Chains A and B, each alone.
Chain A
Amino acid sequence: MTAEAPTAEDVSARARVARMAIAVSLATAAYGISYGALAVSAGLTIWQTSLLSLLMFTGGSQFALVGVIATGGVDAAAGAIGSSVLLGTRNAFYAIQLGPVLGLTGFRRLWAGWLTIDESSAVALSQDAPTLQRRGFWLTGLGVFVGWNITTVIGALIGNSLGDTRVFGLDAVAAAAFLGLLWPRLRNRQVIAAAAAAAVIAAALTPVLSPGLPVLAAGSVALILGAVNVLDPTRHTGRGSA
């Protein structure tokens, strides 16, 4: 027996993190079906659809790439790559926060980076003990990776068998899916204003710019709104904006 035998409290905390990882993995895997179906209806092959889930492995960026290809095809390459990569920048911010928590060196940083997404970061950063944070990150990251890739293939096979996807309302599914990714982030007035401005700009520029570019332009305006902080809710009431 070692001196550091786990207490009953440790065991239950570890079980709680595992349950959370499983629940998040199952919920996220369900999105994979809609992603797979939308990707093949946008014109990607099943291989391309699956490669994105394996290699890119970040749902928002995958939906963005597929959405831009659906409206502009291969000609919208710049918009497709640009919007998926810009949406992926938030993962770099998660990684910066997770670095000290996971304490990794060498190749392990590659595996951690691969699994660094909204879900694994959220579960890890919501724990208070370092061992639970690490456990939450790896269990959630691996769980979502396995589930997401399996349901991507299922969704792609379903999408392939549908034929004219508009008949099944799959174009409306795409809009609803983006709204679902956006919804939990609309937490204060500044963010809601940035979202509204970006939506109006993207729609207004659609007839003028080639497909994909209106999304990039709208994202840039939202970035600037955040940087100059004109809509800071604390700006007129206190000193919180420093």
Chain B
Amino acid sequence: MTLWHIVLIASALCLTLKVAGYYVPASVVESPGIARSANTLTVGLLAALVAVQTLAVGQNLTLDARFPALLLAGTLYALRVPFIVVVIAAGALAAGGRALLGWA
């Protein structure tokens, strides 16, 4: 499979999901169990991505400059700082730590 296959297949499936929702009657999601599961699935995937993006290098776990950057990001989100400012600050901390303090 090439990168093009991945991009096209994933895009087609995501678009299909969006359109398919308009063909499903609203009564299907009135079950609170389904709505709750959909929400915890989204949250679980995002949390897992945070963990992997912070700690993984291939299949190895490592603590490097990404970890203090993530702590900074969490602090700034808690202070209601806008997304774009937070990601720039996180990137700047990691870059600065690597350049000036020898962080991995």
Q: Do A and B bind each other?
A: yes
Contact A221:B3 (CB < 8 A) given known A96-B26, A109-B22: no
CB-contact partner of B59 in A56, A63, A114, A211, under 8 A: A211
Bound CA–CA A99/B18 (angstroms): 11
Residues from chain B with Cβ under 8 Å of A94 in the complex = 21
Contact A74:B44 (CB < 8 A) given known A61-B10, A97-B26, A172-B69: no
| Nearest-CB residue, chain A, relative to B96 | A169
Main secondary structure of the interface of B (DSSP, over half): helix
CB-contact partner of A176 in B21, B36, B55, B87, under 8 A: B87
Q: For residues 51 through 104 of chain B, which have their beta carbon under 8 Å from a beta carbon of chain A?
A: 51-61, 65-66, 69-70, 73-74, 77, 82-84, 86-88, 90-96, 98-99
Contact A56:B95 (CB < 8 A) given known A99-B21, A180-B73, A221-B44: no
Q: For residues 65 through 99 of chain A, which have their beta carbon under 8 Å from a beta carbon of chain B?
A: 65, 67, 69-72, 74, 77, 80-81, 83-99
Main secondary structure of the interface of A (DSSP, over half): helix
CB-contact partner of B90 in A81, A86, A175, under 8 A: A175
Contact A112:B22 (CB < 8 A) given known A178-B46, A198-B45, A225-B40: yes
How big is the A interface, by class? Answer: 35 or more
Interface string of B1-43 (1 = CB under 8 A from A): 1111111111111110111111111101100110111111111
CB-based contact A227/B33 at 8 Å: yes
Question: A5 in the interface, Cβ–Cβ < 8 Å?
Answer: no
A70 to chain B, nearest CB (A): 8
CB-based contact B58/A172 at 8 Å: no
Residues from chain B with Cβ under 8 Å of A225 in the complex = 40, 44
CB-based contact A113/B10 at 8 Å: no
Binding site for B on A (CB under 8 A): 27, 30-31, 33-34, 43-45, 48, 51-52, 55-58, 60-61, 63-65, 67, 69-72, 74, 77, 80-81, 83-100, 102, 104, 109-110, 112-114, 116, 166-183, 185-186, 190-191, 194-203, 206-207, 210-211, 214-215, 218-223, 225-227, 229, 242
Q: List 25 A-B contacts (CB under 8 A).
A: A30-B83, A60-B42, A71-B57, A71-B58, A74-B1, A74-B3, A90-B42, A96-B21, A98-B22, A113-B20, A169-B95, A173-B94, A174-B53, A179-B73, A182-B46, A185-B42, A190-B40, A194-B40, A198-B45, A198-B48, A202-B48, A206-B59, A218-B45, A218-B47, A226-B37
